[in-house]
Amino acid sequence: MAGPDLSALPEILESRPADPSELLPLLTMIQGRWRHLPQEALRAVAARLSLPLARVFAVASFYRSLSFQPKGERLVQVCCGTACHLKGARAVAASLEKSLAVRMGATREDGRVTLESVNCVGACALAPVVMLDGTVHGKVSGPGAAGLRL
Ligand code: FES
């Protein structure tokens, strides 16, 4: 199976200084562009920043927002922090699994949606909270997680 088209990678790499402190910004840009971190891109980042590949992998695997597996076009994150848990996050998650036809922690086969859990996103007063492509949706109701439009 062919990998993703990385023709835009040189432009991304050259948009930042060739300094090790640019590792996380570059990984974030790559994640944003390809919705995951292709191995070839990680090698190119290591070379660009003169860092050991193991260090690049270590940082890439530390952050939950970075992924080695392609995420869906839309990212739905259910907060499972304490406040959201107490306000019904489990029911919201179950409802979303059903309505989106994807299991928690997985990407739908058509690549359109990834559903995952996250820790507290800092909006506890709005519990239960769901993030849709990085935007907070608060007081989400269980059945159908009303208000979420994909
Ligand atoms: S516990 Fe969900 S936003 Fe804080």
Specify whether domain 74-145 bears CATH 3.90.550.10: no
Structure token digits, residue 33: 């562009």
**What's the confidence (pLDDT) of residue 106?**
94
Q: Which atom of ligand 1 is nearest to the CA of 85?
A: 1
Structure token digits, residue 128: 């239960």
Cα of 63 to ligand 1 centre, how many Å? 19
Cα of 101 to ligand 1 centre, how many Å? 24
pTM metric for this prediction: 0.77
Which of 77, 92, 117, 120 is the best mutation target for the ligand 1 pocket, counting ligand atoms within 8 Å of the beta carbon and taking the most? 120
**What's the confidence (pLDDT) of residue 147?**
54
**Helix axes of 53-62 and 39-49: crossing angle, nearest 10 degrees:** 120
Per residue of the chain (150 residues), give pLDDT as tens. 678 899 999 999 999 999 999 999 999 999 999 999 999 999 999 999 999 999 999 999 999 889 999 999 999 999 999 999 999 999 999 999 998 999 999 999 999 999 999 999 999 999 999 999 889 999 997 555 655 666
| Domain positions in the chain | 9-62, 74-145
C-alpha–C-alpha distance, residues 36 and 72, integer Å: 10
